[in-house]
Amino acid sequence: MKQLRLKVLAGLFVAAGVLSWGAARLWDSVGTLPSVPLAAPIVLAAIAVVLTATALSLRARLKAQRDRRPDAKGVEPLMAARAVVFGQASALVAALVAGMYGGTGVFLLDSLDIPARRDQAVYAAFAVLAGFAVIAAALFLERVCRLPEDDDHNTPGRAPAN
């Protein structure tokens, strides 16, 4: 399984932001701008909490397993792989969604004197922050589930094992 790359996530964020900013300008020139839902940052924050809780749970179980505690509940490799895939998918979607709301929020900065637009800009800002929280939680989950031999292969100067 390949590791998440920050460059890919940043590229998705920027691309979605630019497209969203352009679409917001176009949409606003035609009529009214679609609103940023209040639920957007709430849903993203909930996903970040689920990812963080999963990572903390897996980390505790893996630590107990490494310490060879008799009551340690093992971690099935397939479950860990599914958790990592969920985290990676969540991070990719969060980068797109955060970019989309970021672009809309940048567009709304020109009209902060209008109370409704100011509220939308605040919701967009919180959605971007919650999207970054999802990405951070996904990277943490990925790090928790990394196998010890994965670190050996990524060490600079070491020849890959065949």
Position 89 confidence tier, pLDDT thresholds 50, 70, 90: very high
pLDDT 10s digits, 31-41: 777 788 889 99
pLDDT 10s digits, 11-33: 999 999 999 999 988 888 887 77
Of 67 and 131, more confident: 131
pLDDT 10s digits, 69-79: 677 677 777 88
Count of CB atoms within 10 A of residue 7's CB?
A: 8
Q: Minimal CA–CA distance to 138: which of 94, 106, 72, 73?
A: 94
Task: Look at residue 8 in the predicted model and tell me its pLDDT.
Answer: 93
Task: Look at residue 63 in the predicted model and tell me its pLDDT.
Answer: 79
Please state, for a pLDDT cut of 70, what percent of the chain lies above it.
86
Is 121 a residue whose pLDDT tops 70? Answer: yes
CA distance 144 to 134: 15
Q: What pTM did the predictor assign?
A: 0.83
Give residue 122's identity as a one-letter amino acid code: V
Task: Look at residue 29 in the predicted model and tell me its pLDDT.
Answer: 82
What is the token pair recorded at 37? 């839902």
CA dihedral 139, 144, 146, 148 (to 10 degrees): 140
- Contacts of residue 156, Cβ cutoff 8 Å, sequence gap at least 6: none
Position 162 confidence tier, pLDDT thresholds 50, 70, 90: very low
Alpha-carbon radius of gyration of the chain: 20
Count of CB atoms within 10 A of residue 6's CB?
A: 12
pLDDT 10s digits, 133-146: 999 999 999 998 88
Task: Look at residue 153 in the predicted model and tell me its pLDDT.
Answer: 52
Task: Look at residue 72 in the predicted model and tell me its pLDDT.
Answer: 65
Of 149 and 48, more confident: 48
